[in-house]
Structure 1
């Protein structure tokens, strides 16, 4: 568990989502990663709309890195079907983002942002007494 929390923190910090959060729980780290992914998608969308290729590439790459990190740290033993479904959803999001990048497709970026918002809303709604169980 400590390894996952530390790697999540490192990913969070390496993606410039916010400052150090050494005391954050694993649940809070996932919340921050999801918020960071949404921020990066907004940057990618802005890059597409302004035809700013470096900004688009940076936003897509950072979002993909965050999603892949979340996917790789799913706890399938504790998470069961939820972890399996999240893995499939994360895989789908990455594939869609790669297509959005190639096609400069804002609609796909919006689709992935909607999916991430749904995941974040569900994650945020987890009752406090269940937040110690790492599903992601």
Structure 2
């Protein structure tokens, strides 16, 4: 499943058909963080079925992020991101099994760090895209 399909499966409320690839990845990061935060609330409320459902959706989103990695253009960075995404997926499974909120917070922190870097290159990407189109 590609990243767009993963996002559409888990987030039907937001229209993403007009999103450029950079914006789509921003939406994926936001969606994963949102699902993990919601899962924390479910965990605290002892709604374990709801927690599991939300964490499964977050794992699907992270899988979608992995599907966007370009190993030809991204080189070593793409490999490092793939390893980080795999770690996040394993950590979410472990957090779900052990009801470990600290582990969820760790993954949220990792996602936010990567998202901050991604957000930081937005203007550069939009400028390059505009120049290529013009």
Is the shorter-chain TM-score for this pair beyond 0.5, marking a shared fold? Answer: yes
Gaps of 5+ in 1: none
Identify the residue that residue 9 of structure 2 maps to in structure 1.
Answer: 14
Identify the residue that residue 100 of structure 2 maps to in structure 1.
Answer: 105
Identify the residue that residue 75 of structure 2 maps to in structure 1.
Answer: 80
Gaps of 5+ in 2: 130-134
RMSD, aligned α-carbons: 1.9
8 Å Cα contact 1:17-1:36 kept in structure 2? no
Identify the residue that residue 30 of structure 1 maps to in structure 2.
Answer: 25
Distance change >3 Å, CA 113–CA 17, structure 1 → 2: farther
The TM-score with structure 2 as length reference comes to 0.88
Structure having the larger proportion of residues in helix: 2
Match 2:86 to one of 83, 88, 91: 91
Distance change >3 Å, CA 18–CA 8, structure 1 → 2: farther
**Displacement of 1:52 after TM fit?**
0.4
Match 1:42 to one of 20, 28, 37: 37
**Displacement of 1:127 after TM fit?**
4.5
Match 1:64 to one of 45, 53, 59: 59
> Which deviates more from structure 2 when the two are superposed, residues 10-19 or residues 49-58?
10-19
- Count of matched residue positions in the alignment of Structure 1 and Structure 2: 128
Larger Rg: 2
Distance change >3 Å, CA 18–CA 123, structure 1 → 2: farther
